[in-house]
Amino acid sequence: MTTQILKYLIAIDEERSVTRAADRFWLSQPSMSHHLAAAERELGVQLFLREGRSLHPTEDGIIFINNARAILHAEEQALRRIQALREETQIEVQGEMQGNAPEAMRP
């Protein structure tokens, strides 16, 4: 399961609707329903119950959605740390290059 699918499932939870969740991602309702059904097959549990025109997470769904949010948060944190490290490394390399440059080339 990809992080994109996790985002879809979180959107279904937040919107309480497959159609509105699909609209968020410019997907068709059948496509979003397919992703939901595939995720439920993969997990072997039902994530949502239909009540009238809205969907509500099952107990398994609540557990899964909360963990999906945690996974996406961890991914975001990791990407931020990597970006900060890249920027720090880039500054160090630039500083070393300027330190080794001839006097006339230094800013």
The pLDDT value recorded for residue 90 is 75
* Model-wide pTM > 0.85: no
90 close to 77: Cβ distance less than 8 angstroms = no
What tens-digit pLDDT sequence spans the chain (107 residues)?
Answer: 999 999 999 999 999 999 999 999 999 999 999 999 999 999 999 999 999 889 999 999 999 999 999 999 999 999 999 998 888 887 766 666 565 555 554 45
DSSP per-residue codes, 24-77: HTT--HHHHHHHHHHHHHHHTS--EEEETTEEEE-HHHHHHHHHHHHHHHHHHH
One-letter amino acid of 40: E
The pLDDT value recorded for residue 97 is 58
What is the distance between the alpha carbons of residues 50 and 89, in angstroms, rounded to a whole number? Answer: 51
The pLDDT value recorded for residue 88 is 83
The pLDDT value recorded for residue 23 is 98
Q: Which two tokens stand for residue 74?
A: 């961890």
